[in-house]
Amino acid sequence: MGRGKSYTIAGVTYPKQADLEAAVKLALNSHPMNMPFEDAFLAAVINAEHHEVREAGQRATGRFEYLDFGEQLRRGMDTAERYRGGSKVMGYFEPLGDWRDVTVYPWRGRGNHRGDLKRALREISTEFLPHPMLTDFCHWSGCGESGARLEYHHVDPTFDAIAEEAMALMTPEEIEGRFGYRKFEAGKDEISRLIPRDHPAILHLIEAHVGSVFEWLCAKHHRGVGLER
């Protein structure tokens, strides 16, 4: 078995991916959450290893924010729903001159286009799913959370099963190209907006929810959302 890929970031060589991951985690967790900070090391990691950043000719400037789920909700950010809760790093990029959500672990899930498409399908499903009423409550035993912040939990069929059936109706080219998705190109930076609503995958997504079994859960019990870093 080979010894694996080494990484050189800002002149420092990390013999194993685990070494670089540990350095990234230490750097990220050294900063306070929900407020701007600067970190040249994290920027160097993104600029060296994030293929979408490089392909788009963009550069992380070193300005970041590390936002928990609650702060994303407070700001009305779509990342709260799109990434199913949890914390998210936002970075400022040039020449874009704007902020984008970005991973500081760009080697994780690289090329996981099916995962990207599954998130897009989940986002699209919110367009036609019912919304909770003030009298609805979390079905998790002993919870009691109620109101508009409850979330639709797929019981039968599961969302994973629905999404897999929907993606089976996409061509290999659509999956590989993610319907023309480009993270830094206006109008193409949201996969959920690029999939035609009359596409067979979307029609199946809608049909599969007819008569499906669901229950309301709060974000904590639906997603396992926490504030641990």
- Res 128: pLDDT: 92
Say if residues 135 and 146 touch (Cβ distance below 8 Å). yes
Query: How does residue 27 score in pLDDT terms, banded at 50, 70 and 90?
Result: very high
Stretch 173-201: mean pLDDT:
93
Q: What is the mean pLDDT of residues 33-61?
A: 96
Amino acid 219: pLDDT: 81
Please give, one letter per residue, the 3-state secondary structure of the chain.
CCCCCCEEECCEEECCHHHHHHHHHHHHCCCCCCCCEECHHHHHHHHHHCHHHHHCCCEEEEEEEEECHHHHHHHCCCHHHHCCCCCEEEEEEECCCEEEECCCCCCCCCCCHHHHHHHHHHHHHCCCCCCCCCCCECCCCCCCCECCCCEEEEEECCHHHHHHHHHCCCCHHHHHHHHHCCCCCCCCCCHHHHCCCCCHHHHHHHHHCCCCEEEEECHHHHHCCCCCC
Measured distance CA(39)–CA(85) in Å, rounded: 24
Q: Can you give the pLDDT at residue 22?
A: 96
The residue ranges of every structural domain in the chain are 7-101, 113-223
Report the C-alpha gap between 118 and 45 in whole angstroms: 27
User: Each residue of 66-111: pLDDT tens digit?
Assistant: 999 889 888 888 777 666 667 899 999 999 999 999 999 999 867 7
Mean of the per-residue pLDDT values for the chain?
A: 90
More confident residue, 44 or 70: 44
d(CA 110, CA 55): 14
Percentage of residues in the chain having pLDDT higher than 70: 93
Average pLDDT over residues 216-223: 86
Quick one: pLDDT at residue 227?
Answer: 35
pTM exceeds 0.85 for this model = no
